[in-house]
Chains A and B, each alone.
Chain A
């Protein structure tokens, strides 16, 4: 079974703090993704990576950056956390885009609260 793990289930930070969210997958997937989920807005893509050291902006990259130094690990960084970044953050991984349906496997999520 594919396993995607996220470093924290719940996190509380203060405005202006630098926040790191870590994600690790164990299935040697090329692609990794960071989403945030907010009520009424569904899942919105922040950044994704299709290879080590490669990254692409998603729909809402502002205020975020990412790092992929190793294939299995994809980090989301909030340079200076703000209250509007309070959300559920979801990491996902998938095989390179020749898989039958590009199914993405999700981690359990990190509920981040910024005070």
Chain B
């Protein structure tokens, strides 16, 4: 059963605007949430993470928001750039565990 869900397979945003990628999870035991970015024919690369004790983490143009009561997190990219066009995977884990639980990904297209 999918514990991490990304319900939007794709998103298209104009350059300079905000991109908001959403992720829902079902396991209240998750301790950390991570976002990965993946270009075609490359491996995913780590983008940003957030601990379950925080509700916001910011790194440059990227901000992740966590709403524990709703079991929801979102990644905001401001301003969006054409180079941000990629597939974004949401992932979650428990500190006591080994493996990450990944969502199915959202393909972001930033148009000029």
Residues of A near any B CB (own CB < 8 A): 4, 9, 31, 33, 35, 40-45, 48, 50, 56, 58, 90, 92, 94, 97-98, 100-109, 111
Contacts and interface: CB of A to CB of B under 8 A. Distances in A.
30 contacts: A31-B98, A35-B102, A40-B9, A41-B104, A42-B6, A42-B102, A43-B105, A56-B98, A90-B43, A90-B44, A92-B43, A97-B96, A97-B97, A97-B98, A98-B95, A100-B32, A100-B49, A100-B51, A101-B32, A101-B34, A102-B32, A102-B95, A102-B97, A102-B98, A103-B34, A104-B46, A106-B43, A107-B43, A108-B41, A111-B41
Nearest to A31: B98
Contacts of B46: 103-105
Main secondary structure on B side of the interface with A: loop
Contacts of A103: 34, 46, 49
B45 interface: yes
Contacts of B96: 97
